[in-house]
Chain A
């Protein structure tokens, strides 16, 4: 009886939720592997034609490389600068700190499209259009405010006494930071880094607008090729979706334990 009650209360709703969540992924799998024109509900007989189309004809090989470079670059920049900014906000009292925090928060309310033309002009003047460095900088600028806010919360959660104890033992501030604070910030870095990576991986607007060269586009731009003005290639769309989604899913699968730790730490102690 107890098992039946548990099944009805826990597993039945969870199962229903999972079905609803996973149906779009199954749809993607079916369309990616079944031949064009097939109406089968299972991806069999399977074909790799759609993957060949997106990888070779549509240039996903290049887009994938670009996305990986831009997302990893953004991750590194955001983690390093986010760590520095977050530490400064958490540990130092300086004039304008609250106003600075408020400004960071407000920057999150500005849609990307509003800063598009000013950023475009800045990038043009600094010769950063049509380059992946430009995209790393644009994506980092978009991700950094949230990263700094989150990181300052995480740093504030680490007792300052620990750093002071290290300094009493002869460490400078920098050594105390690396020896005492940084190891405890590993979950926070995973959380901030994964947000930055995924935000950059999925960014369509900057990738399209700041690149005027086919070989500098990223995966979201490549995906939108499959939805034409009058035509839609569902097979290529699904195959491209899988190519774009699988790395993110794998990253999440590997880091999800740290991610939960990081978010919980920030929420409770911040």
Chain B
């Protein structure tokens, strides 16, 4: 019996120890905030902002929870199904419609109309968020814009006596010239693995100048001749001016190749700015917009827009809204975007000195605000968009890179799927 008692005591101790911890009972309102991309780059920034907020609003306590970005949608879905959502959540437009479809978010139109932020947020971002929600209501307040750019090695271009490319013709020629396979140096890196097709489409639309993903009748423009031409030309680079391993590249592998000194140019977005500058320094790394194609038109497919949403089930929605307003105020939005290297949504920030000194962000902001820039927003509200462009298409793009499927067949197949999904969705929406 003594052994059984010993085991029971050990069990009780372990479970008792597991229960250590407690909550605050000091009468403050506590709201929970889920960061949708928790990690070493963002968590300290949010912790600083939360401390500032709590100083300004002593009756509100914010409990920060960092969620790994790869699992955030599943975490939200589980929390919604289980009725345990946070008060405020970081969300992006890529899964906004999924949350709206589950009736989890509170519309913010009325709150914004009565807020000092009313005319302060970049209109194109607010429009983008409205479109992504699916019913043109405002369920997310945008905090940052994130554009695709070409990161390039300034030192390699200078050594070769080249100027950064402004057209796709120049980029493809430079990629070939900067390749020295005997020295394990390549002019470009192709993303062939996870996330490849969305990135490829932003290249294709920048080349073709197509202004939107769908025509008025719901026909996908993905297989436009210019898009096919670009995919064919990029695929022709693979293995010649790119590492052979690129067929499996996600962004982590591309960044590793670039920071490891084996590629001269990489297409990614402003989000990788911190890693690249930390590894190589601003003297060696520069950013240029995605080049233009033969039409000369500047067409940009924006990345999903990051922002904050207030959850409907939260008990303290007024406090939650105060926190969202604080995060998007000039000072907070400026601090936030300076730290993460993205384009601020609050237009008052555009006069800040740091922004003019940050070449990639200033360049991207210039592209975003230029009058001749056309924004071809990806149809994130289309429920089948993500599965079609990821699980269905990414393996097929690998076949294009390996030469077993033509660019034409690949894009026509993709266009047919998108057209069917868009028409089906339109018919359901009425």
The binding surface of chain A is classed by DSSP as helix
Residues in A neighbouring B14, C-beta threshold 8 A: 69, 72-73, 76, 136
B338: interface (CB < 8 Å)? no
Tell me which of B105-113, B204-212, B229-237, B266-274 binds A: B266-274
B65 to chain A: which residues have CB within 8 Å? 212-214
Contact residues of A between 138 and 164, Cβ < 8 Å to B: none
Per-residue 0/1 for A202-215: is the Cβ within 8 Å of any B Cβ (1 yes, 0 no)? 00000011001111
Chain B 71-97: CB-based contact to A (< 8 A → 1; otherwise 0): 100110011011110100000000000
Interface segment out of the listed B171-179, B255-263, B344-352, B378-386: B255-263
- A208 near B278 with CB under 8 A, answer no
A228 sits at the interface (CB 8 A): yes
A62-89 interface with B by 8 A CB criterion: 69-70, 72-73, 76-77, 80
Q: Which of B81, B84, B146, B261 contacts A39 (CB 8 A)?
A: B261
By the criterion CB–CB under 8 Å, are A212 and B18 in contact? no
A173 contacts partner chain B, Cβ-Cβ < 8 Å: no
Q: Shortest Cβ distance from B260 into chain A, in angstroms?
A: 6
Evaluate contact between A76 and B64: CB separation under 8 angstroms: no
The distance in angstroms between the C-alpha atoms of A80 and B12, with both chains bound, is 12
As a 0/1 sequence over residues 245 to 261 of chain B, the CB contacts with chain A under 8 angstroms (1 = contact) are 00000011001100111
A25-66 near B? 1/0 per residue, CB < 8 Å: 000000000001101000000000000010001100000000
Q: Which residues of B contact A72 (CB under 8 A)?
A: 14
Interface centre among A121, A178, A230 (most CB of B within 10 A): A230
B250 CB to nearest chain A CB (Å): 9
> Which listed residue (A77, A178, A231) contacts B3, Cβ 8 A?
A178
Residue B29, interface by CB 8 Å = no
State how many residues of chain B have any CB contact under 8 Å with chain A.
60
Say yes or no for A19: interface residue by CB 8 A criterion.
no
Q: What are the residues of chain A within 8 A of B281 when measuring CB–CB?
A: 37
Does B44 interact with chain A (Cβ within 8 Å)? yes
Verify A229–B271 contact, CB threshold 8 A. Answer: yes
Closest Cβ–Cβ distance, residue B143 to chain A (whole Å) = 14
CA separation between A185 and B280, bound complex, in Å? 57
Does B54 make an interface contact (CB < 8 A)? no
Please name all residues of chain B whose beta carbon is closer than 8 Å to the beta carbon of A227 when the two chains form the complex.
39, 68-70, 252
Decide yes or no whether A258 CB sits under 8 A from chain B: no
| CB-based contact B69/A228 at 8 Å | yes
* Docked pose: A224 CA to B37 CA in angstroms: 10
Nearest B residue to A133, CB-CB: B18
CB-CB under 8 A from A80, the residues of chain B are 7, 11
- What residues of A have a CB within 8 angstroms of the CB of B83 in the complex? 124
Q: Shortest beta-carbon distance, B262 to chain A, in Å?
A: 10
Interface centre among B39, B71, B256, B259 (most CB of A within 10 A): B39
Q: Please determine whether B39 and A226 come into contact, CB atoms closer than 8 angstroms.
A: yes
| Choice from A76, A121, A208, A229 contacting B82 with Cβ under 8 Å | A121
A53 nearest in chain B by CB position: B40
| Interface: A259 (CB within 8 A) | no
How many residues of chain A are within 8 Å of chain B by beta carbon?
48
A contact residues around B278 at 8 Å (CB) = 36-37
Q: CA separation between A59 and B246, bound complex, in Å?
A: 34
Of residues 190 through 226 on chain A, the ones whose CB sits less than 8 Å from some CB of chain B are 208-209, 212-216, 221, 224-226
Q: Is A132 an interface residue (CB 8 A)?
A: yes
The answer to whether B123 has its CB under 8 Å from any CB of chain A is no
Q: Distance (Å) between the CB of A52 and the closest chain B CB?
A: 11
Contact B39 A77 (CB under 8 A): no
B66 located at the interface, meaning its Cβ lies under 8 Å from any Cβ of chain A in the complex: yes
The interface residues of chain B lying within 8 Å CB-to-CB of A226 are: 39-40
Q: Contacts of A216 on B, CB cut-off 8 Å?
A: 21
A252 to B309, CA, bound (A): 46
Bound-complex Cα distance A76 to B10 (A) = 8
Closest to A79 in B: B7
Q: Is A236 an interface residue (CB 8 A)?
A: yes
Q: How far is the CA of A232 from the CA of B64 in the complex (A)?
A: 21
Decide if B18 touches A228 in the complex (CB within 8 Å). Answer: no
Q: In the complex, A70 Cα to B19 Cα: how many Å?
A: 11
Q: Is the beta-carbon distance between A209 and B78 smaller than 8 angstroms?
A: yes
B43-58 to A contact mask, C-beta < 8 Å, 1/0 = 1100000000000000
- Most B CB contacts (10 A, CB to CB) among A129, A182, A224, A231 go to A231
* A211 CB, min distance to chain B CBs, angstroms: 8
In the complex, how many angstroms separate the beta carbon of A69 from the nearest chain B beta carbon? 5
CB B50 to nearest CB in A, in angstroms, measures 12
C-alpha spacing A14/B272, complex, angstroms: 41
Question: How far does the alpha carbon of A140 sit from the alpha carbon of B238 in the complex, in Å?
Answer: 49
Q: How far is the CB of A239 from chain B (nearest CB, A)?
A: 11
Closest A-chain residue to B278, C-beta based?
Answer: A36
Contact B69 A232 (CB under 8 A): no
The reply to whether B251 and A230 form a contact with Cβ atoms under 8 Å apart is yes
A177 to B181 Cα, complex, angstroms: 70
Contacts of B40 in A (CB 8 A): 53, 57-58, 225-226, 233, 236
Q: Are A225 and B38 also in contact (CB < 8 A) when A117-B82, A230-B271 are?
A: yes
Q: Does A116 contact B (CB under 8 A)?
A: yes
B185 on the A face (CB < 8 A): no
10 closest A-B pairs by CB: A230-B271, A132-B18, A224-B68, A229-B69, A120-B82, A225-B39, A73-B14, A37-B279, A228-B39, A232-B252
A-B contact pairs, 13 of them (CB 8 A): A37-B278, A73-B14, A131-B19, A133-B18, A209-B78, A225-B40, A227-B39, A228-B37, A228-B39, A230-B269, A231-B255, A231-B274, A232-B275
| Beyond A117-B78, A234-B256, 16 additional pairs, beta carbon < 8 A | A36-B278, A37-B280, A77-B11, A117-B81, A133-B19, A136-B15, A136-B18, A174-B1, A178-B3, A208-B67, A212-B34, A214-B63, A225-B66, A230-B146, A232-B252, A232-B275
